[in-house]
Structure 1
Amino acid sequence: MRRLCVYCGSRSGDSDCFQQAAEAMAEAMLRHDVGLIYGGAQIGLMGAVADAVLAGGGEVIGVIPESLKQDEVAHQGLTCLEVVPSMHHRKARMIELADAMVALPGGLGTLEEMFEALSWAQLRLHSKACGLLNVEGYFDSLVSFLDNAVEQGFISSEHRDLAIVDRDPDRLLTTLLRLS
Structure 2
Amino acid sequence: MDAARRSRRGRRLSPLLAFTAGRLWDEGKAAMTLDAAAARLPFPLLAAGPIAGPNGARVELRHMQSIGRLSTSEIAAILATRPVFVSAARYEPFGLAVLEAAQAGCALVLSDTTGFRELWDGAAVFVAPDDAAGFAATVESLADDAAGAPRSAFRHGSGPLASAWTGRSRECSLSMNR
| Separation of aligned partners in 2, 1:25 and 1:5 | 10
- Relative to structure 1, is the Cα distance of residues 163 and 177 closer, same or farther in structure 2, using a 3 angstrom cutoff? same
Q: 1:165 aligns with which of 121, 126, 133?
A: 126
Give yes or no for contact 2:41–2:140 (8 Å, CA) kept in 1.
Answer: no
Give the TM-score of the pair, scaled to structure 1.
0.54
**1:92–1:131 CA distance, 2 compared to 1 (3 A):** same
For structure 2, the 5+ residue unaligned runs are 1-12, 144-178
With structure 2 as the length reference, what TM-score do the two structures score? 0.54
Count, aligned residues: 123
* Greater strand share, structure number: 1
* Counterpart secondary structure, 1:24: helix
Aligned counterpart for 1:116 among listed residues 94, 97, 100: 100
CA offset digits 1:45-102 (Å, max 9, x no partner): x962xx323xxxx46151534xxxxxxxxxxxxxxxxxxxx32x13213324673111
Partner of 2:142: 179
Percent of aligned pairs with the same amino acid: 15
Q: Which has the larger radius of gyration?
A: 2
Question: Partner of 2:38 in structure 1?
Answer: 29
Distance 1:171 1:119, change over 3 A: same
2:51 pairs with one of 34, 42, 47: 42
CA RMSD of aligned residues (A): 3.1
Q: CA deviation at 1:39?
A: 1.8
Residue 21 of structure 2 contacts residue 49 of structure 2 at CA under 8 Å; is this kept in 1?
Answer: no
Match of 2:163 in 1: none
Alpha carbons of 1:47 and 1:92: their partners in 2 closer, same or farther (altered >3 Å)? farther
Pick from 112, 116, 120 the counterpart of residue 142 of structure 1: 116
| Map of 2:22 onto structure 1 | 8
